[in-house]
Structures are given as C-alpha cells and as structure tokens.
C-alpha cells in the first residue's frame, strides 16, 4: 500500500512539473518531469531574467565577505520564493523575475556567524483548515536562531505563530558568542508540524551545545517535540546536530534526519563508544518525534565525516518489485541504500577493519561500514608519490610530494595525529550539502563530487594560543587534551596538491551497482590569470537537478550553469553567470514554458567572486532570436581567455604599426 502511495505521489508531481521544495519534492529527488528542454535544443537557451537582491551594493564588504549564496528557490502558489544569505525572504514572478514581495528578518550583521551568513531555502506549507491570511505559509530559519512564519501571498508575518510570527530557539546551553548557533537549512513541514535543525560551530569545545532537533505546531508555534541524537546514545558531549536538509515521507508520516558528528570533530576521547545516533540516518515519527530506526554510517567519528546531504527518498524497481528506499550519499563518496520502513541496507554493508593507532586517550572503532554493491563515487586512497601534482612543473610538484609524504597516510579512516594526517576525501569532499538527485524514470542517481586533500594535525592543549598565529584554520577543542589545525593541501601556486580533476559530476546505476559516467565539472577560468580555462574540474559543494527532458543541470566553482546529457555525460551547454552558482539549481514549468534557475552569488568560504543574483534560463519564444554567435563563442569556458589573448595580440600589432609609422616619418 505504501509503495502504491509513493508511486502516486511521483505521478502527481509529474503533473505539476514544479519545484515545491528546495529538494524538488519533500523527499529530495531534485527531479522535474519538465521535458521541453532536451539534449537536442539545450544549446538554444537564453537568459530569461535576472534578479539582484542588492546586497553587494548596500552591505559592507566585511559582511558580504562572510556570506555564501546557497539558496534554492521553490515554486509555490504562482511565486518563486527564496531567501538571501541575510534571511530576507523574497517572492518573484516566475515568468519575469519581478519582485512580488520581500520580508527582512532584520538579523544582526555583527554576530560573526560560525558558518557564515547563509540560508539554503524556505519551506511552504498549507493549513488544510486555514482561511485567508496565512492559510498558505512560508517557513524560514534564521542565522540568529529564529523560526519565522510568513503569509505566502503577501510576505507578512503570521501573527498567531509564536510571538508575532516567530519562535526564538533557545540553545540548551549558553553560547560563546551569538554566531555559534544558526539555522541555515530549510525547515521541514508536514502533518501540522514544522521541524528545524541547527548549524553549530565545530571544534570549539566539549561539552558543547547539543544538536537538538525541534518540532513546533505549524499553526501556533507551540513546542511539539525534541530529539537529541547524543542523549539517545547515552552520552551528551554535544552536537550531532542536523545542519543539512531533512526529508519527509508524508504517506508514512516519517521524517528522515541526516545527523552530524559529535563535538569536537577530531578527538573522541571524551565521548567513548560509537556515539549513536550521530553520523546516522535517523527516521522519526513526524507527529511525535518517536525514533523508528537509525542507521549509522560512521562509528565514533574523528574525521568530520558527518552526513551533509539530504536523504533521497526514492522507489527502486528491483527484481522483487518496487522498493521504497532512502539513499544517503556521504563525504567519503559512499552511497548507502536503506529500506525506508526498517533502515536495513538493501544490499550488504560490511564492517571492515580500518587503520588504528590514534593519539593518547583516543579509542577508535576497529571497523567501519562499507557498502558492497554501489561503488564509491570518488577515489579513497592517495599515493603521495604518484598523485602529487603541480601546475608550475617539477618544483611545484616536488613541494606537494614532500608535503604529502611527510603526513600520515594509511588510507580511508586514518586517525588524526600529531604528525599530521591526510584526509582523502577531505571533510568537504565526496558528496556535500548539495546532495544527490534521482531520476525515478531512468532509475539513475546523479551527484557532484569533490576530490581534494585535507591535512589534520593535532597539538597538545598547551599550544592552543600559539596556533592562532599559524595562518590556518584552528580548532581549540577546549575540554580535550588536543587542539587541531585543518588545511587544504595546496601547492606554492595555490592549487590543490593532488592531481586533477578536483570536481566531477557522476551518474550511478544503483541497481546494477556501477558508475554509468563521470564528467569533469568546471574549469580554472575564474581563478587563473587572464581566465585560462584548464579542464581541472572545481570542488563542488552544490548539487544537481535532473529533468524529464534528459538533462542534468549544475553550477560549479566557475561562473557557469552547465547542462550534461543525462544518458552519456556529454557537456552540452554552458550559460554564463554574474558570479559562480555554488547552489542547487531548480527546474519548473510556467505558462507552458520550462525554466532553469540558479542563485549566482558566489561563496566566500570557497574564495570565489561574490554576487547577489538569481538567474533564469529558457528557450526562446516564438519570434525571439536565440543566442548570438558572439555569445555562443565568448560565453563558454575558454572564450574569454582567447578573447583576451586576441585583444592583447591586436593591441601589440597596433603598437608595432604605430612605431613603424613614426620611424618612417623620421626618415
């Protein structure tokens, strides 16, 4: 019965061809059945409209320099609704991008948010018993820890929710500073309940604020239930929070949480055991918060290999018939496929021996879970000799090789050390918060992946203060015997020390247990001198959107929206953006036309140029001209580099001609 309901939900979604949640649907498929844009005509896409939030012009550089524009709009009630990094909820006309309403949560920009100013999206909910104002609501979490309810039609506060339209979340212990605790991902709302997680500063201290998941009445804002993963495990050092996006199975009344690691990330001596239900997919009753099941992907995590991605709720067509599953992609590049009712793996997961020999006071798990059917989406071993890389030749490569060889490197799950430990994939590697997308028709999973190296080094606690002058990320890990540093392994030229590509889009046939294709994602154009576009691939925190027309759309670390052929992985189109679109794109149909939209605002943590735009693309309407030959040439990776080279060459020729004329006149 549940499988039939799930299939009916997919059919209903296909009829809408919209994007009702930041993950496409409540289960995070990131799929739209819209099929107007195809591999055959995608090259004709033009920019439909562009909207600017105005943040770059009206906010100080020190504020915009601490933001990341990771939002994904939703289509709700004839409005595209999204949030800015500073918690302004904005509604636009889907056809023109004209602003319909705007609400400012008025957060303080003096709070120094630990995870930077960020809002990945909003959530729509309709009150089945409601009439008039706030019958349809928009929920938004804020950087300063509030849950706000707005009327979807006007953007005005729902005064009956909490106190004048908002609930202030109170962390379970005092904060070190206001920005230590945030809400950065969209709430989940269903069955009259709205649920929020939290983002909490890593590696600060233990005990630390617990990662409590909180549920409220969607009409009144009254508390309904709480769930603390670390209390459920029997110890309470803090965190194991849900900072990413949750998924909801409305037919079963279940909410699925991707929990994070306990605090602190890189030393677990103060939290012995497996630390369940951290680093786990946890299924709760939406109405009550009762735990139904949990599946842990990392035991006793000391690598920050928490679950960053939204669990994908899909239906696989297997030999025994349709099977409702939860698909969880990880930073390590693993893909766990679990039965939605029980949490049991669909295919065997093995407990394999992993490296031991942690620092004094540490007790590591002797084994970790490894999926056996679906292959890892990224390499998980690094050869310091063979994989060292440098753009500037032998000197650059030799410096990388020496640095890599000096660190401990025993493969996946090598514990942090005083010597320095290589983490490959890095803590921002594999599949990150952008998550995976699943095509329910073709039965293929798609994901962006990052392939770069971190070095994690532990230091005796008495060196904490001295580390602050090192110029690298420092985690004090107060309350433990060790502080830590984390740094991306970069060459003297400032590029990753491991050989490229550093970012790829990957397609996986889950049933067959094989990778269908891999495509390099992004070039060096927006980082290299003169815009040199080397096919290095770029680290990709964001995810993809897949369409019924057979296309996979994604942003990247360079300023392009790309379209790949969903069947072959061929890169078919690039649309130039005002800034890198390190956000999940979305696809919808409106008035018979298909649109692809992405937030193009850059990412200060990734060191990109910054922006504040949301950009939409569509096919030309009847009578409209398509992209010009100039734009097809210049607005593609490498086009600007060769244009600059040509410009310099022409300028040199002009100078030579002028000099020759002057010499002739003198003679």
Query: Could you tell me the mean pLDDT of each successive run of 10 residues in the chain, 667 residues long?
Result: 42 62 98 98 98 96 94 97 98 98 95 94 95 95 98 98 97 93 98 97 93 98 96 75 98 98 95 94 98 98 98 96 97 98 98 98 98 98 95 88 97 98 96 98 98 97 88 93 96 91 97 98 83 89 98 96 98 97 98 97 90 98 80 64 59 71 72
Domain assignment present for 60: yes
Phi (first) and psi of residue 452, to 5 degrees: -140, 175
What is the pLDDT at residue 143?
97
Measure the CA–CA gap between 523 and 535, rounded to whole angstroms.
5
Measure the CA–CA gap between 2 and 26, rounded to whole angstroms.
16
* Same domain for 632 and 595: no
Q: Which of 275, 279, 301, 304 is catalytic?
A: 304
What is the pLDDT at residue 638?
64
H-helix segments, 186-307: 229-232
* Same domain for 281 and 148: yes
What is the pLDDT at residue 644?
53
What is the pLDDT at residue 15?
44
Q: How far apart, in Å, are the Cα atoms of 573 and each of 257, 395, 426, 561, 622?
A: 35, 37, 30, 8, 21
Residue 525, preceding peptide bond in cis (omega within 30° of 0): no
Measure the CA–CA gap between 388 and 393, rounded to whole angstroms.
11
* Same domain for 33 and 96: yes
Sign of the four-CA dihedral 521, 565, 244, 112:
positive
What is the pLDDT at residue 635?
66
Domain assignment present for 360: no
Number of domains the chain contains:
2
Calculate the CA 362 to chain-centre distance. Answer: 31
Measure the CA–CA gap between 200 and 278, rounded to whole angstroms.
14
* Same domain for 555 and 641: no
Non-local CB neighbours of 91 within 8 Å, separated by 6+ positions: 79, 80, 81, 99, 100, 101, 102, 152, 155
* Same domain for 563 and 659: no
CATH number, position 406? 2.140.10.10
Domain assignment present for 418: yes
CB-neighbour burial class of residue 72 (10 A; exposed 0-12, middle 13-18, buried 19+): buried
Q: How far apart, in Å, are the Cα atoms of 220 and each of 52, 135, 192?
A: 34, 12, 10
Is 304 assigned a catalytic role? Answer: yes
Radius of gyration of the chain from Cα atoms?
25
Measure the CA–CA gap between 49 and 41, rounded to whole angstroms.
19
Domain assignment present for 273: yes
* Same domain for 434 and 533: yes
Within 10 A of 10 (CB to CB), how many other CB atoms are there?
A: 17
Range of the domain at 69: 2-354+365-621
Q: Contact at 8 Å (CB) between 577 and 555?
A: yes
DSSP string covering 394-459: HHHHHHHHHHHHHSB--STTPPPBSS-EEESS-TT-BS-TT-EEEETTTTEEEEEEE---EEEEEE
* Same domain for 659 and 598: no
Domain assignment present for 253: yes
DSSP string covering 143-156: TTSEEEEEETTT--
Measure the CA–CA gap between 241 and 279, rounded to whole angstroms.
9
**Residue 352, H or E segment:** strand 349-353
* Same domain for 101 and 43: yes
What is the pLDDT at residue 469?
79
What is the pLDDT at residue 651?
65
What is the pLDDT at residue 14?
40
* Same domain for 652 and 568: no
Among 533, 585, 586, 524, which Cα is nearest to 555's? 585
Measure the CA–CA gap between 59 and 62, rounded to whole angstroms.
8
Among 23, 69, 88, which Cα is nearest to 245's? 23
Domain assignment present for 653: yes
* Same domain for 656 and 580: no
Q: How far apart, in Å, are the Cα atoms of 525 and each of 457, 485, 538, 641?
A: 32, 30, 10, 8
What is the pLDDT at residue 11?
42
State the greatest distance between any 2 C-alpha atoms of the chain, in Å, as a whole number. 96
Q: Contact at 8 Å (CB) between 446 and 505?
A: yes
- Residues across the chain: 667
* Same domain for 269 and 205: yes
Domain assignment present for 563: yes
Non-local CB neighbours of 263 within 8 Å, separated by 6+ positions: 200, 202, 203, 204, 205, 206, 207, 208, 237, 238, 239
* Same domain for 651 and 522: no
Domain assignment present for 556: yes
């Amino acid at each position: 019965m549940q499988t039939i309901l799930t299939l009916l939900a997919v059919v209903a979604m296909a009829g809408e061809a919209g994007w009702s949640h930041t993950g496409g649907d409540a289960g995070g498929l990131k799929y739209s059945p819209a099929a107007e844009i195809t591999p055959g005509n995608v090259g004709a896409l033009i920019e439909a409209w562009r909207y600017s939030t105005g943040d770059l012009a009206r906010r100080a550089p020190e504020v915009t320099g601490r933001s990341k524009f990771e939002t994904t709009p939703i289509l709700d009630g004839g409005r595209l609704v999204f949030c800015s990094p500073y918690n302004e909820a904005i509604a636009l006309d889907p056809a023109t991008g004209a602003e319909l309403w705007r609400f400012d949560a008025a957060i303080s920009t003096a709070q120094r948010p630990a995870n930077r100013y960020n809002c990945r999206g909003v959530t729509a909910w309709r009150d089945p018993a409601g009439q008039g104002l706030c019958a349809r609501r928009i929920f938004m979490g804020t950087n300063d820890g509030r849950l706000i309810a707005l009327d979807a039609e006007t953007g005005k506060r729902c005064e009956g929710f909490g106190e004048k339209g908002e609930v202030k979340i109170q962390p379970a212990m005092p904060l070190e500073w206001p920005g230590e605790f945030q809400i950065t991902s969209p709430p989940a709302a269903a069955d009259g309940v709205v649920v929020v997680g939290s983002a909490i500063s890593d590696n600060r201290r233990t005990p630390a604020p617990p990662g409590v998941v909180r549920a409220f009445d969607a009409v009144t804002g009254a508390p309904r239930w709480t769930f603390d993963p670390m209390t459920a495990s029997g110890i309470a050092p803090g965190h194991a929070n849900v900072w990413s996006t949750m998924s909801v199975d409305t037919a079963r009344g279940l909410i699925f949480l991707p929990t994070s690691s306990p605090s602190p990330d890189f030393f677990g001596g103060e939290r012995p055991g497996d630390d369940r239900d951290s680093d786990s997919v946890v299924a709760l009753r939406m109405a009550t918060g009762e735990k139904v099941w949990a599946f842990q992907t990392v035991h006793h995590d000391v690598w920050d290999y928490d679950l960053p991605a939204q669990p994908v709720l899909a239906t696989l067509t297997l030999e025994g018939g349709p099977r409702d599953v939860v698909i969880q992609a990880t930073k390590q590049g693993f893909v766990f496929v679990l039965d939605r009712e029980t949490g049991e793996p669909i295919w065997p997961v093995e407990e394999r021996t992993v490296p031991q020999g942690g620092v004094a006071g540490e007790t590591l798990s002797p084994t970790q879970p490894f999926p056996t059917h679906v292959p890892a989406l990224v390499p998980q071993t690094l050869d310091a000799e063979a994989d060292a890389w440098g753009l500037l030749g032998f000197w650059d490569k030799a410096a990388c090789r020496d640095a890599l060889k000096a660190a401990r490197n025993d493969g996946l799950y090598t514990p942090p050390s005083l010597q320095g430990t290589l983490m490959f994939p890095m803590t921002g590697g594999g599949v990150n918060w952008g998550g995976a997308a699943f095509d329910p028709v073709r039965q293929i999973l798609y994901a962006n992946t990052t392939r770069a190296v971190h070095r994690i080094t532990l230091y005796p606690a008495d060196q904490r203060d001295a580390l602050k002058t090192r110029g690298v990320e420092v985690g004090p890990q107060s309350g433990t015997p060790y502080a830590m540093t984390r740094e991306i392994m970069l060459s003297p030229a400032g590029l990753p020390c491991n050989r490229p590509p550093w970012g790829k889009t990957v397609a996986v046939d889950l049933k067959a247990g094989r990778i269908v294709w891999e495509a390099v994602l992004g070039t060096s154009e927006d980082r290299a001198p003169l815009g040199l576009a080397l096919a290095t691939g770029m680290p990709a925190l964001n995810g993809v959107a897949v369409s019924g027309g057979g296309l996979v759309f994604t942003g990247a670390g360079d300023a392009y929206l790309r379209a790949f052929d969903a069947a072959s992985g061929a890169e078919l189109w690039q649309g130039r953006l005002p800034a890198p679109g390190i956000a999940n794109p979305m696809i919808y149909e409106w008035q018979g036309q298909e649109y692809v939209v992405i937030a193009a605002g850059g990412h200060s943590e990734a060191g990109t140029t910054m922006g504040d735009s949301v950009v939409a693309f569509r096919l030309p309407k009847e009578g409209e001209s398509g992209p010009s030959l100039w734009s097809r040439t210049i607005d593609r990776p490498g086009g600007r580099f060769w244009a600059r080279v040509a410009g310099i060459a022409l300028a040199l020729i002009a100078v030579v001609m002028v000099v020759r004329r002057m010499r002739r006149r003198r003679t």
